[in-house]
Each structure stands twice: as structure tokens, then as C-alpha cells.
Amino acid sequence: MSKIFRLFLLFFLFAPLSILAQSSNFFLFDVTNKSLTNETIDLDRWNYFSERTLPPDQRWAGQSELVLLQEVVQKITYGTFALRIKIDSSLRNSVLAIEVPSVFSSYRLFENGRNIGSKGKIGNTKESSIPSVESTVYYFTPVADTIELILHVNNFYKGPGGIKGNLRLGASTLFEQKLHEAKMFDYALFIALFLMGISALCFYYVRFEHRNVFLFLSCFSLSWLLRCLFGYHYRILEWMDISWEWVMRIEYVSMMLTTFFAICFLASLFPEDFKKKVKYIALSVLALFVLSILVLPPSEFISAIVIYLGFSTIILMYVLTVIAKAFAESRGGSTMMLVTMFFGSVAFGYAIVCYLAFFEINMVIFNCSFILLGIMLSFSVSIRLSRMDYLAEKSVLTLEHFFPGDKK
């Protein structure tokens, strides 16, 4: 009996030490030598508790593994990420911020037991959780030298699941400036696309020749605008409350519409070089894509986005070939259009690579490049139409080429 009592006493005395030893195995991110007022810190390594919703106000316990956040979030169903951060004592009681990029699922973020932000609805099953997609910055004031972060994450959507970048820690002023710049460039792109679409529509109603070019350019610009509103920063959610499912449907339909009208627009600019068979096959495939988006659940059509990206890449290569052929045959205005399309292929390629490689896109570069692309496109269309020899570029002439109708 005394032996059992001694064992119990030893366990009672050393149990706290074993818990402390276990907690000491957790990763401590020491940023005391970093100036958080001048730079942001990527929070890339976390302790991960698989399929556990860890209480944010209790001592961390149980088995965990040290993981890279971006790699693991793509593969989990649900779980808890935990991290301790050692900051300089001078940052106590100063306003800090954590930027959470687009998490294509749902999450809750706690700082020292306090819920400082969340997106969507957390659950242990697909049916009980609601995903979200927006990137957000959360502000908090640390009261100690050690910050304990708890991140509950759901990911029951393996297609869109994952996170576009790492969480970042820094002074609030750094993020306020970044958010202001991002919004400014986003709205600059919106305005540029809107003006381009409306201007093209006006030309459609006042011109007698090449009217379809302006109609398709207007539709292309406005569908591109819709794509920007329902993608990346999801600015549309700042104006209205739309369910995650419909945000996804509209985002992906807008991608198809942008490609659809781009094909129609380029085919109308180079009617003799863009083969009608290719055009109708491409438009039919896009129509099937749109139908699948409207019928299938988001988890299925988002998983198939790689098929669309591959299809878009093929179309882009074909378009470059068409314009290169027009350039070789000295079509009027084809030089500037070839330069524009090459720049556009680089810009779209950058966006596709960011998606497939699953790293965060630089939205300043993205927005600036597409604003410049819009200006170049408008300029190249003007040159193409002004130099387009409609008679010389037609293999078969009809009376309409010599006596164009004046109906609008």
C-alpha cells in the first residue's frame, strides 16, 4: 500500500513538470529583434492539432506537429493551429495587426484567448460549416510579451480549399497603408474597365462600320469588371451580403463570359484569320462550362478549374498565333495588337501561375498591369480599325462591302 502511495505521490509531484516539458516542445516564434513598426512578419510555421478544436483559453495539450501553414491547410478537414510569438516589451499596449489572406474555407482567430476575428462558420462536418473567401486584417493590443494565437480552420472543400499566403503580423499603420493602396488600385481598375465598356458601347451606337467589334469589346470589359468585383479581394461583399455559393458561381461564370466575349471580339477584329470552326467549338465548350457552374455544387465545379485554365491557355496560344499570322501578312494595325496580346498573355499567365502554384498574388502589380492592358487594348483597337483594309482582307466580296447598309 505504501508503494502505491509513493508512486501516486511521485506522479502528483512530477505531472505538472511533464505538462510543462510537453508545452516547451511547442514552437516559439521570437521576433524581439524585428521592428514590427517598419516591416511585417510572415507567420508560416504553426503547431497543428489534427481534427481537434482546441479551446483558446486553456493550456495547449495533446499531440501536435510543427507544420507549414500553406501546405497543411490544403489537406485538412478541420483542426487547430497554434503559435506563440515573443515580441519586444516596447510593443506592449501598442496596436498591432494580423493580416489573414483569402482562406477558402472558414476560420476563427484568437489572440491570448480573445476572439479577434472570423470568417464563415466553423463546424466539424461539411454540412455544419459555411466557407468564406475574403482577406481581412484584424487589430489587437497585446498586454504581454508573448502572444498566443489559436486558429480554428475548416476545409471540407478540397477544390478551393487552402490559403493564399501566410498570416502576417505587424504594426497597424503598415496594414492600414496597404489596405488603402489595395482599395485605391482596385477601384482604379474598376473605373478603367467601366469607362472602357461604356465608351465601346457608345461607339457601337454611333458608328456604321465594325460595330460588332465595339459591342464585343463592351461586353468583354463589363464581364472583366464583374470578374474583378467577384474575385481576389471580393469587393462586392463590401456593398452587399451574398452567400458563398453564389459568390463562387458568379465569379466562375464571369471568368467564362470574359473568355467568351474575348474570343468574339478578336474574331471580329481578324475575321479572315480567326477560323470560324475554332471559334464555334471554343464558344460551345465555354457554354458547357457555364452550364456546369450553374448546375453542379461549388465543390465540384471549382475542383475542375484546372480544366478551364488549360482550355484558356490553349485559346490564348491560338489567339497569339492568329495575330502573329496577321502580322506576317501585313494586316493593318496588327503590330500594336500583337504587342498588346503578348503583354496580356504575360499578365494572365502571372495570374494563372499564382493560382496553380498557390502563392499570394501581388495585387498592385496585377491591377497596374491590367489597367495598362486596358489602355493598350483601346489604343490598339483604334489603330486596327483605322488601318483595317476591309476589301483587301476579304477573300470573297459581296455588294455589302461596297455599299454598307446604314441600319443600326
Which residue, chain included where needed, has cell 452587399? 240
pLDDT tens digits along 221-254? 999 999 888 877 788 888 888 888 888 899 899 9
Residue 246 and residue 378 in one domain? yes
Is pLDDT larger for residue 337 or for residue 5?
337
In a domain, 195, yes or no: no
Residue 225 and residue 279 in one domain? yes
User: Distance of alpha carbon 292 from its chain centroid, rounded?
Assistant: 21
**pLDDT at 161 (0 to 100):** 66
Residue 248 and residue 288 in one domain? yes
Alpha-carbon distance of 84 to 234, in angstroms, equals 31
In a domain, 400, yes or no: no
pLDDT tens digits along 284-331? 999 999 999 999 888 778 777 778 888 888 888 888 888 888 778 777
Alpha carbon distances (Å) from 62 to 10, 25, 79, 173, 230: 22, 11, 13, 37, 40
What is the DSSP pairing of strand 78-86 with strand 146-154? antiparallel
In a domain, 181, yes or no: no
C-alpha count within 13 angstroms, C-beta hemisphere, residue 371: 15
Helices then strands, each counted (H, E), the chain: 11, 11
Contacts of 359 (CB under 8 A, 6+ apart): 70, 164, 165
Residue 363 and residue 221 in one domain? yes
Name the pTM for this structure. Answer: 0.75
Mean pLDDT, rounded, of the chain:
79
The number of distinct structural domains making up the chain is: 2
**Phi, psi dihedrals of residue 243, rounded to the nearest 5°:** -65, 155
Residue 165 and residue 216 in one domain? no
CB 259 within 8 A of CB 309: no
Last residue in a domain, options 158, 175, 192: 175
Q: Domain range spanning residue 169?
A: 26-175
Contacts of 342 (CB under 8 A, 6+ apart): 320
**pLDDT at 234 (0 to 100):** 85
**pLDDT at 389 (0 to 100):** 54
